[in-house]
Amino acid sequence: MKRLTATLCLTIALLFGCTGVCKSADFQKGLTEYDAGRYSAAYREWKPLAEDGSAPAQYYLGVMYLDGIGVKKNSKNAVKWIKLAAAKGDARAQSILGVLYSEGESVPKNYKIAVKWTRLSAEQGYATAQNNLGFMYEKGRGARQNYKAAEKLYSLAAKQGFTRAQTNLKYLQKKIYGQTPLRKNQTPLRKNKGTLPISSKKSPFDEAREKCTLIGFKQGTEKYGECVLKLIQWINYRQ
């Protein structure tokens, strides 16, 4: 009977890529325990998996140590497991690691490293990371300020129903355009004057060029020209 059980476990391991003696089946059990609030039991299920290199288990262990869930809070262990999971490509771990470096929590604050990990997560389509990376581009933290890139990332996260990204997108578009983005040949409505900052020391053309460059449009391109024309129209309207 024992031999039959061992053979069955080996077959499952070969089919699903688990290591050890059928340990992959324990991850779901750990998740069930975690969702039920039995965190110590979840930890016992996930610890062997994490040690065997399971990225999802490593991620959960990192979160548990980070917030003191089922275990004593331990920043060193939290960062250890989160980094291991992030290095294996776990988007959630990459996103959290980006936040830790951005805020200087449990690790030295470093915006460039924060951008690196957040971008890796965002490229996998993780909405939280897309929103966070958009914020970094909007504020110029760890990357050159680029409103166009920020708007694109907010839009990607917003399409997934991420509420915070939807709010950030609306705020950014008001900051860029003074309202929602203008469609081609659209004239701004008087009731939506907006808040686009205008300097009286610069001509509308120079003001528009500077703003379009900040947004992220490349000079000499058709889209850059369209941006300049739209903003000149808006600037002249406000003056």
* Tokens found for residue 81: 């497991």
Q: Distance between CA 175 and CA 168 in Å, rounded?
A: 10
- What pLDDT is stored for residue 229 in this prediction? 64
Provide DSSP, 94-140: HHHHHHHHHHTSSS---HHHHHHHHHHHHTTT-HHHHHHHHHHHHHT
Q: pTM score, two decimals?
A: 0.68
pLDDT(237) > 60:
no
For tokens 């300097």, the residue is: 199
How far is 196 from 237, CA to CA, in rounded Å?
A: 11
Could you give the domains of the chain?
30-88 (no CATH), 108-179 (1.25.40), 196-239 (no CATH)
pLDDT category at 18 given cuts 50, 70, 90 is: very low
- d(CA 91, CA 117) in angstroms, rounded, equals 9
pLDDT given at position 37: 94
